[in-house]
């Protein structure tokens, strides 16, 4: 399927990377994705393949052993991977966000320690803001880090860690009162701690427990967990960037590129749904002709393809804006909002085109139908995107009367 979601102006290296990833997705991911997903099985072989392709280091600078590629290249790879299986893009995403935060905000020692091993996929990243009582309202975080000599002692419970079990480095956002007296604005009294741990479940480090996987309706294969800190001791040099009170900004920077990534996932899942719908519509006959020949179905296909194109264009625009060094929160928010909503709609239309068979686990669309809703929530819900978009629009279009 080559007609839709084309990207003009890519250089030779970008085209080569994308064609390699597309090939990998078609040969190694699509044929096994649904089976693995139904078994909720971690895609170990696929992850090994991604490591060999260098995808864990795609955006990590070359001096640290990565490929030093742009956000656009990364997002286009994610789009391809999500076309194959969204869970696989989830495995890379939190790793990518942590690597990005280290690159942008880490001390030299932190970069030297983690980025080369992250580029190889030996150290794998997860990031943790959400808690049982909060997701959208990050300022309400209650997990706390308190200084004790050369260490910080962390206490609190975190929720919804993508790759919580398989990761070995978690960027954890906590409140830290050191130097930030009572009454300091919440976003100025938060710190990102770089927490190293063994992969796995149970007590993975003294004071740190990862209970089992959360059982989810979709987005299976990739592990999503809680994280419990009970007197977890972290050396002071594992404060991201070396200074407390910067955590909120660091995380929001990470989430902003994460939003382009979620938009790219929405594009990939929508493309796959379109491919499945347009193929089925030409095979299934009703009233003496393929259902694709009924105008109602053609209209559905037209709407689906238009949404695939629009979402792709907005996602590419948001990535290019960030790559050019400009602020892209407006574009990233719009792309994430539109791509995730369109993804849900395109998947729903492809599901309807399949008639009763869409409800059968034998058909791939059944899996996509359970996966698409996650994109409406992750990296900020639609309501949160609209809050960001609205605020930015009022900044840009300030009434001058």
Ligand X SMILES: Cc1cc2nc3c(=O)[nH]c(=O)nc-3n(C[C@H](O)[C@H](O)[C@H](O)COP(=O)(O)OP(=O)(O)OC[C@H]3O[C@@H](n4cnc5c(N)ncnc54)[C@H](O)[C@@H]3O)c2cc1C
Which positions touch ligand X (CB under 6 A)? 94, 127-130, 134-137, 160-162, 216, 219, 224, 374, 377-378, 380-381, 383-384
3-state secondary structure of 96: helix
Distance in Å, CB of 129 to ligand X, minimum? 4
Identify which of residues 64 and 160 has a Cβ nearer to ligand X in the complex.
160
Q: Which residues of 239-268 are buried (b: 16+ CB within 10 A; e: fewer)?
A: bbbeebbbbbebbebbbbbbbbbbbbbbbb
Distance in Å, CB of 261 to ligand X, minimum? 12
Identify which of residues 134 and 330 has a Cβ nearer to ligand X in the complex.
134
Pairwise CA distance, residues 292 & 299, whole Å = 9
Identify which of residues 229 and 316 has a Cβ nearer to ligand X in the complex.
229
Pairwise CA distance, residues 258 & 316, whole Å = 14
Q: Strand pairing of 169-175 and 125-128?
A: parallel
Identify which of residues 35 and 139 has a Cβ nearer to ligand X in the complex.
139
Identify which of residues 316 and 388 has a Cβ nearer to ligand X in the complex.
388
Instruction: List Cβ neighbours of 159 (8 Å cut-off, separation of 6 or more).
Output: 130, 131, 132, 135, 226, 227
Distance in Å, CB of 214 to ligand X, minimum? 8
Distance in Å, CB of 262 to ligand X, minimum? 10
Is 379 catalytic? The answer is yes
- The one catalytic residue in 331, 362, 379, 396 is 379
Q: Which residues of 132-167 are buried (b: 16+ CB within 10 A; e: fewer)?
A: eeebeebeebebbbeeeeebbbbbbbbbbbbbbbbb
Distance in Å, CB of 386 to ligand X, minimum? 8
Residue nearest ligand X, CB atom distance: 135
Cβ pair 314, 334 in contact under 8 A: yes
List the catalytic residues.
379
């Amino acid at each position: 399927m080559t007609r839709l979601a084309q990207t003009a102006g890519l250089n030779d290296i970008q085209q080569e990377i994308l064609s390699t990833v597309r090939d990998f997705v078609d040969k190694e991911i699509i044929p096994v994705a649904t089976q693995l997903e139904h078994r909720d099985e971690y895609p170990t072989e696929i992850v090994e393949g991604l490591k060999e392709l260098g995808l864990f280091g795609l955006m990590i600078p070359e001096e640290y052993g990565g490929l030093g590629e742009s956000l656009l290249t990364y997002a286009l790879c994610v789009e391809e991977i999500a076309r194959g299986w969204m869970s696989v893009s989830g495995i890379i995403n939190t790793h990518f966000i942590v690597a990005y935060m280290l690159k942008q905000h880490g001390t030299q020692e932190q970069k030297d320690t983690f980025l080369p091993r992250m580029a190889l996929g030996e150290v794998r990243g997860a990031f943790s803001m959400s808690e049982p009582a909060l997701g959208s309202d990050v300022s309400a975080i209650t997990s706390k880090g308190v200084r004790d000599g050369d260490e910080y002692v962390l206490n609190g419970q975190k929720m919804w860690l993508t790759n919580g079990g398989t990761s070995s480095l978690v960027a954890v956002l906590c409140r830290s009162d050191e130097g930030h007296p009572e009454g300091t604005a919440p976003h100025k009294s938060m710190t990102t701690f770089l927490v190293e741990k063994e992969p796995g479940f149970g007590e993975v480090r003294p004071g740190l427990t990862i209970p089992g996987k959360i059982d989810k309706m979709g987005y299976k294969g990739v592990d999503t967990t809680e994280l419990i800190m009970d007197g977890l001791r972290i050396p002071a040099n594992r404060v991201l960037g070396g200074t407390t009170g910067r955590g909120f900004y660091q995380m929001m920077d990470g989430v902003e590129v994460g939003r382009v990534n979620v938009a790219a996932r929405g594009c990939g899942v929508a493309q796959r749904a379109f491919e499945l719908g347009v193929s089925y519509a030409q095979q299934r006959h009703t009233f003496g002709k393929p259902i694709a020949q009924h105008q109602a179905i053609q209209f559905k296909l037209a709407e689906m393809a238009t949404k695939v194109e629009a979402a792709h264009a907005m996602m590419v625009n948001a990535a290019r804006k960030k790559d050019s060094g400009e602020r892209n929160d407006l574009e990233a928010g719009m792309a994430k909002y539109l791509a995730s909503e369109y993804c849900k709609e395109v998947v729903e239309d492809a599901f309807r085109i399949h008639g009763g068979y869409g409800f059968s686990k034998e058909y791939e669309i059944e899996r996509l139908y359970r996966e698409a809703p996650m994109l409406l929530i992750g990296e900020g819900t639609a309501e949160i995107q609209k809050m960001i978009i609205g605020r930015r629009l009022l900044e840009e279009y300030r009434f001058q009367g």
